[in-house]
Structure 1
Amino acid sequence: VMMTQGTLVDATIIEAPSSTKNKEQQRDPEMHQTKKGNQWHFGMKAHIGVDAKSGLTHSLVTTAANEHDLNQLGNLLHGEEQFVSADAGYQGAPQREELAEVDVDWLIAERPLVAGIG
């Protein structure tokens, strides 16, 4: 399968029990808490890169839940993309030093306006 046109990137939180009621009496050190909206989550995050045409996942990276999505963006690209599409959490990607050599059209959603501001 040829994957050259574009990549869609996103991340999702994988919940894990935050309880210390286990044999070691501690939380899993590879997992952390993060806040999304007004909700706290504990666990890991799956960062994925999906081919825009076929819908097939070509990249998967797992991190602690508190890892920012932008930190893994370079690991989700296969290098043959013409464009990268992402949600507003990836704003600033074109200015990142580690992505300076990535020659693509960045299709990144704008952050929604907050009511009462602006």
Structure 2
Amino acid sequence: MPFTYILECSDGSLYVGSTWNLERRLNEHNLGVGARYTAKRRPVRLAWAGEFERMPDAFAFEKQLQGWSRAKRQAVIDGRYADLPGLSRCSAEPSTDQVSTGSTSTTPD
């Protein structure tokens, strides 16, 4: 199943990505081969992941999250979906239904 994920980097920044294999991708990021951004900010930890039925949906949500403020991304990580409308920069932002439907929050051990 495809995933959209949020990583917390060693410098406190957040990185958003999508993948077919979440465990493999997290290992790649921590080995420094996952992405140029995370290679310079290791180690990273999985802060949130949502599972999707189709990769186009996971990729679309990745792009949506990348356009969001840190406060909105943190609300997703914390599961505070009801707070998302109040954190929107404009009223044209997609509804929170897209966040709570089709994705589930996971936390690593």
TM-score (norm 1): 0.29
Rg (Cα) greater in structure:
1
Higher strand share: 1
